[in-house]
Amino acid sequence: MATALVHFTAAAATDRGRKRPSNEDAFGFSVERGVYVVCDGMGGAAAGEIASSLAVDEVLKRLSHRAADLEAPLAAEQAIEAANEAIFSRSQRNARLNGMGTTLVGLLAEESHVWVINVGDSRCYRLRNLHLEQITLDHSLVEEQVRLGRMTEAEALRSPLRNVITRALGTQSRVTPDIFAMEAEPGDLFLLCSDGLTRELTDAQIESLLGIELPLDELCARLVSAAKKAGGHDNITCTLVRAEG
Ligand code: CA
């Protein structure tokens, strides 16, 4: 089957939200290189900001300058490993930064081939034909219990353990990302976002917001503003990547 010719456009937005004193989320992308990253740091304000920006910088740099003959999934694994090592070694050297870490959700595009990379509970969704689908699986304690059938979605939302994530960058000496491979079709819209968006808005709300035909930066602004209106309890970050025909 011939693959469709596509090119990508993108926009992103981040916001402190209405309750947190600082913004520990970070994002970065290069449309030219086909690399898009969103990170949600943890470990206390300064540490969280350092972890998320280290991860964005390292993964963006590594994937933007990857060798042409290196398979994309392998390049992604190596970039994650390098970012993990950068954060972990920095936290080992400085007691104040001990235990810092970050989630990472990334998208790598080569022609119409797309790889989604995930560690933690930030998410990637794809809107295709006005239908929203979650691509990533949260590495969180409660979502893993839901997937095992031991907890309902409603219980997960109320659980005091809902903030516990089971995989993060920088908290252990090694980490393995999930990597999802797919083919982009013209019109596909990918959303990379931190949980400050998905805790405030249901998938149905995100689906209807993304279904409106608007420039991507305007869609990002609307997502952030809807999450703030719904409470804005956490930092909110979204990156939108559209496959154009
Ligand atoms: Ca968060």
Q: How far apart are CA 14 and CA 193, in angstroms?
A: 9
In whole angstroms, what is the distance from residue 144 CA to residue 68 CA? 36
- Residue 46 is predicted with a pLDDT of 86
CA 24 / ligand 1 centre spacing (Å): 8
> Helix, strand, or coil here: 233?
coil
Ligand 1 center from residue 167 Cα (angstroms): 14
Question: Is the CATH code 3.40.50.1460 the one for domain 7-136+169-244?
Answer: no
- In the reported structure, the alpha carbon of residue 218 is separated from the centroid of ligand 1 by a whole-number distance in angstroms of 22
Predicted pLDDT at 5: 83
53 CA distance to ligand 1 centroid (A)?
Answer: 14
51, 95, 135, 159 from 125: Cα distances, Å? 24, 36, 5, 24
Residues of the chain predicted below pLDDT 70: 1-4
Distance 212 CA to ligand 1 centre (A): 26
Å from CA of 2 to ligand 1 middle: 40
Instruction: Compute the CA torsion angle 54, 41, 131, 116 (nearest 10 deg).
Output: 40
Residue 102 Cα to ligand 1 midpoint, Å, equals 9
Task: Summarize pLDDT for 48-97 with one digit per residue, the tens.
Answer: 999 999 999 999 999 999 999 999 999 999 999 999 999 999 999 999 99
Closest CA to 183 of 231, 236, 134, 243: 243
Which residue ranges make up each domain of the chain? 7-136+169-244
Note the pLDDT of residue 44: 80
Q: What is the CA(59)–ligand 1 centre distance, in A? A: 19
Q: To the nearest whole number, what is the mean pLDDT of the chain?
A: 96
- What letter would DSSP give residue 123? E
CA of 164 to the centre of ligand 1 (A): 11
Task: Give the distance (Å) from ligand 1 centre to CA of residue 130.
Answer: 27
What's the CA-to-centroid distance between 127 and ligand 1, angstroms?
A: 22
Question: In whole angstroms, what is the distance from residue 6 CA to residue 244 CA?
Answer: 5
> pTM for the full model?
0.96
